[in-house]
Amino acid sequence: MEQTLVLVKPDGVQRGLVGQIITRLERRGLKLIGMKFMQVTRELAASHYEAHVGKPFYEGLVDYITSSPVVAMVWEGKDGIQVVRTTMGATNAAVAAPGTIRGDFAVEIGRNLVHGSDGPESAAREIGLFFASDELVNWPREADRWIRE
Ligand code: IDP
Ligand code: MG
């Protein structure tokens, strides 16, 4: 099973889209194993977005993610990283497919509502930044046999 970090970014919280974003991930069949409502500090933002240091949008990105609270979550599932990313849609919301979170609720790259880890290594690193291991819950879900063969 893969675990992945998902953030509802400040625009998602401010716009009242937390519930709809969680609903889409639940409905897809992913399993929630950790969740917190929190303010991202500039220090945490710098660690989380270290791969983007030096890019033209970096300072604006740190301002954005620290501007207001976020909902941080860990979701689990087979191919969970890819399943989350296809549910989120393309980074640039202007071209994200309808039916995706970004394609249905957002219009530009700088206000694209959600974060999802992009690979197993970044997922492990990002989960470690946002959650202590005892904040993740290992629980059996009865519906699993109706979601996967
Ligand atoms: P991802 O969130 O789809 O994985 P990344 O390329 O990892 O996309 O970029 C991280 C975040 O940085 C994006 O979600 C978006 O918020 C922001 N970002 C990326 N490129 C741009 C840009 O060209 N202008 C403004 N913000 C950007
Ligand atoms: Mg990314």
Ligand nearest to the CA of 122: 2
- Among 40, 88, 109, residue to substitute to test ligand 1 (most atoms within 8 Å of Cβ): 109
Under a CB-based contact definition with an 8 Å cutoff, are residues 7 and 17 in contact?
Answer: no
Q: What residue segments make up the domains of the chain, in order of their start?
A: 2-147
Is 48 one of the catalytic residues? no
Supply the pTM of this predicted model: 0.98
**pLDDT tens digits, one per residue of 88-138:** 999 999 999 999 999 999 999 999 999 999 999 999 999 999 999 999 999
Q: Determine the pLDDT at residue 131.
A: 98
Confidence of residue 140 (pLDDT cuts 50, 70, 90): very high
pLDDT tens per residue across span 22-76:
999 999 999 999 999 999 999 999 999 999 999 999 999 999 999 999 999 999 9
| CATH fourth-level superfamily of 2-147 | Nucleoside diphosphate kinase-like domain (3.30.70.141)
What whole-number distance in Å separates Cα of residue 119 and Cα of residue 63? 24
The predicted pLDDT at position 108 comes to 98
| Beta strand ranges found along 1-149 (DSSP E) | 2-8, 31-38, 70-77, 114-116
